[in-house]
Amino acid sequence: TSHSMILSLTSLVIILSFASVSYTEKVDTCIMCTSDSMSGSNVECEQTPETQANGACSAEFGNDYCYVLVTRQKEPVEAWMWNRGCCTPKAGSQICPLSEPNHVSNEVYEMWRARCDTNDCNIMDPRTSSGGGGGFEGGLVVHGKKSAAGVISTNFVLLVIIGVVSISYI
Protein backbone atom coordinates (compact mmCIF):
# COMPACT_ATOMS: atom_id res chain seq x y z
CA THR A 1 0.00 0.00 0.00
CA SER A 2 2.90 2.37 0.59
CA HIS A 3 3.93 1.92 -3.04
CA SER A 4 0.44 2.86 -4.28
CA MET A 5 0.36 5.87 -1.93
CA ILE A 6 3.66 7.14 -3.34
CA LEU A 7 2.34 6.65 -6.88
CA SER A 8 -0.86 8.53 -5.98
CA LEU A 9 1.08 11.47 -4.52
CA THR A 10 3.43 11.51 -7.51
CA SER A 11 0.42 11.58 -9.84
CA LEU A 12 -1.05 14.45 -7.85
CA VAL A 13 2.15 16.49 -8.19
CA ILE A 14 2.23 15.86 -11.96
CA ILE A 15 -1.42 16.90 -12.33
CA LEU A 16 -0.88 20.07 -10.29
CA SER A 17 2.22 20.91 -12.34
CA PHE A 18 0.19 20.71 -15.56
CA ALA A 19 -2.61 22.72 -13.97
CA SER A 20 -0.18 25.51 -13.05
CA VAL A 21 0.65 25.97 -16.75
CA SER A 22 -2.90 27.16 -17.39
CA TYR A 23 -2.37 30.19 -15.11
CA THR A 24 -0.34 32.05 -17.75
CA GLU A 25 -1.89 35.45 -18.32
CA LYS A 26 -3.21 36.34 -21.75
CA VAL A 27 -4.75 39.52 -23.13
CA ASP A 28 -8.43 39.49 -24.07
CA THR A 29 -8.53 42.78 -26.02
CA CYS A 30 -6.10 45.27 -27.53
CA ILE A 31 -6.43 48.60 -29.33
CA MET A 32 -6.59 47.73 -33.03
CA CYS A 33 -5.85 50.32 -35.67
CA THR A 34 -3.51 51.14 -38.54
CA SER A 35 -2.19 54.27 -40.15
CA ASP A 36 -0.30 54.52 -43.43
CA SER A 37 0.99 57.84 -44.78
CA MET A 38 0.85 56.48 -48.35
CA SER A 39 -2.88 55.71 -48.28
CA GLY A 40 -4.16 58.28 -45.79
CA SER A 41 -3.01 58.67 -42.23
CA ASN A 42 -5.16 57.78 -39.24
CA VAL A 43 -3.87 60.50 -36.91
CA GLU A 44 -5.95 59.19 -34.00
CA CYS A 45 -4.21 55.79 -34.24
CA GLU A 46 -0.86 57.57 -34.08
CA GLN A 47 -1.51 60.26 -31.46
CA THR A 48 -4.61 59.32 -29.41
CA PRO A 49 -4.92 55.53 -29.70
CA GLU A 50 -7.13 55.31 -26.60
CA THR A 51 -9.91 56.77 -28.81
CA GLN A 52 -9.63 53.85 -31.23
CA ALA A 53 -11.72 50.68 -31.05
CA ASN A 54 -10.35 47.63 -29.35
CA GLY A 55 -10.74 44.13 -30.67
CA ALA A 56 -10.80 40.61 -29.30
CA CYS A 57 -7.55 38.66 -29.21
CA SER A 58 -7.44 34.92 -29.91
CA ALA A 59 -4.96 32.08 -29.65
CA GLU A 60 -5.16 31.70 -33.44
CA PHE A 61 -3.93 35.24 -34.20
CA GLY A 62 -2.11 35.99 -30.94
CA ASN A 63 -3.17 36.73 -27.38
CA ASP A 64 0.02 36.95 -25.32
CA TYR A 65 0.57 40.70 -25.77
CA CYS A 66 -0.82 43.91 -27.18
CA TYR A 67 1.70 45.54 -29.53
CA VAL A 68 2.57 48.76 -31.32
CA LEU A 69 4.75 48.69 -34.42
CA VAL A 70 5.90 51.91 -36.10
CA THR A 71 7.76 51.60 -39.39
CA ARG A 72 9.44 54.42 -41.29
CA GLN A 73 10.09 53.34 -44.86
CA LYS A 74 13.14 55.23 -46.16
CA GLU A 75 13.29 53.97 -49.75
CA PRO A 76 12.14 54.22 -52.49
CA VAL A 77 9.75 56.84 -51.02
CA GLU A 78 9.53 57.87 -47.39
CA ALA A 79 6.40 56.58 -45.65
CA TRP A 80 5.21 56.00 -42.08
CA MET A 81 3.10 53.04 -40.97
CA TRP A 82 1.51 52.41 -37.55
CA ASN A 83 0.02 49.10 -36.44
CA ARG A 84 -1.64 48.28 -33.11
CA GLY A 85 -3.13 44.91 -32.17
CA CYS A 86 -2.66 41.52 -30.48
CA CYS A 87 0.30 39.19 -30.91
CA THR A 88 2.09 36.06 -29.78
CA PRO A 89 5.89 35.93 -30.16
CA LYS A 90 7.03 33.84 -33.12
CA ALA A 91 10.37 33.26 -34.80
CA GLY A 92 10.69 35.47 -37.89
CA SER A 93 7.73 37.72 -37.00
CA GLN A 94 8.18 41.44 -37.67
CA ILE A 95 5.31 42.32 -35.34
CA CYS A 96 6.11 40.09 -32.35
CA PRO A 97 9.54 38.49 -32.78
CA LEU A 98 11.03 36.10 -30.25
CA SER A 99 14.41 37.77 -29.87
CA GLU A 100 14.77 40.82 -32.09
CA PRO A 101 15.66 44.28 -30.77
CA ASN A 102 12.80 46.74 -30.28
CA HIS A 103 14.51 49.25 -32.59
CA VAL A 104 15.93 48.28 -35.99
CA SER A 105 17.37 50.68 -38.55
CA ASN A 106 18.92 50.00 -41.93
CA GLU A 107 19.14 51.76 -45.30
CA VAL A 108 15.59 50.75 -46.31
CA TYR A 109 13.51 51.14 -43.14
CA GLU A 110 13.50 51.98 -39.46
CA MET A 111 11.22 50.08 -37.10
CA TRP A 112 10.17 50.54 -33.46
CA ARG A 113 8.28 47.91 -31.47
CA ALA A 114 6.68 47.80 -28.03
CA ARG A 115 4.40 45.29 -26.37
CA CYS A 116 2.56 45.02 -23.09
CA ASP A 117 0.54 42.36 -21.31
CA THR A 118 -2.71 43.91 -20.06
CA ASN A 119 -5.94 44.57 -21.96
CA ASP A 120 -5.87 47.65 -24.21
CA CYS A 121 -2.43 48.71 -22.94
CA ASN A 122 -0.94 49.37 -26.40
CA ILE A 123 -1.37 53.14 -26.35
CA MET A 124 2.35 53.98 -26.15
CA ASP A 125 4.62 55.47 -28.81
CA PRO A 126 7.44 52.91 -29.15
CA ARG A 127 9.77 55.56 -30.57
CA THR A 128 9.95 57.23 -27.16
CA SER A 129 8.69 54.74 -24.58
CA SER A 130 8.03 51.08 -23.91
CA GLY A 131 4.91 52.03 -21.98
CA GLY A 132 6.58 51.45 -18.64
CA GLY A 133 7.16 55.15 -17.92
CA GLY A 134 10.33 57.04 -17.11
CA GLY A 135 11.92 57.93 -20.48
CA PHE A 136 12.92 54.32 -21.19
CA GLU A 137 14.03 53.73 -24.79
CA GLY A 138 12.35 50.62 -26.16
CA GLY A 139 11.48 47.65 -24.01
CA LEU A 140 10.18 44.17 -23.63
CA VAL A 141 7.59 43.07 -21.12
CA VAL A 142 7.80 39.46 -19.98
CA HIS A 143 4.72 38.37 -18.14
CA GLY A 144 4.79 35.73 -15.47
CA LYS A 145 2.13 33.51 -14.07
CA LYS A 146 -0.75 34.52 -11.88
CA SER A 147 -0.09 33.45 -8.31
CA ALA A 148 3.29 31.99 -9.28
CA ALA A 149 4.40 32.09 -5.64
CA GLY A 150 1.31 30.07 -4.68
CA VAL A 151 2.01 27.47 -7.36
CA ILE A 152 5.63 27.16 -6.26
CA SER A 153 4.57 26.90 -2.60
CA THR A 154 1.96 24.25 -3.39
CA ASN A 155 4.42 22.19 -5.42
CA PHE A 156 7.08 22.55 -2.72
CA VAL A 157 4.69 21.45 0.03
CA LEU A 158 3.63 18.44 -2.03
CA LEU A 159 7.25 17.45 -2.62
CA VAL A 160 7.94 17.68 1.13
CA ILE A 161 4.87 15.51 1.86
CA ILE A 162 6.02 12.94 -0.69
CA GLY A 163 9.47 12.93 0.88
CA VAL A 164 8.09 12.47 4.39
CA VAL A 165 5.67 9.73 3.28
CA SER A 166 8.41 7.96 1.33
CA ILE A 167 10.84 8.05 4.25
CA SER A 168 8.22 6.88 6.74
CA TYR A 169 7.43 3.80 4.63
CA ILE A 170 11.03 2.77 4.03
pLDDT digits (tens, 9 = 90+) for 43-93: 999 999 999 999 999 999 999 999 999 999 999 999 999 999 999 999 999
58 closest CA partner among 96, 89, 27, 97: 27
Confirm whether pTM is higher than 0.75: no
- H helices of the chain, in order, are 2-21, 43-47, 148-168
Residue by residue, DSSP assigns 103-150 as: EEE-SSEEEEEEEESSTT---S-TTT--SSSSS--S------BTTHHH
Q: How many CB atoms lie within 10 A of CB 112?
A: 22
Reply yes or no on whether the pLDDT at 10 is more than 60: no
Q: Where residue 158 falls among pLDDT bands split at 50, 70, 90? A: very low
The predicted structure's pLDDT at residue 24: 58
d(CA 116, CA 93) in angstroms, rounded, equals 17
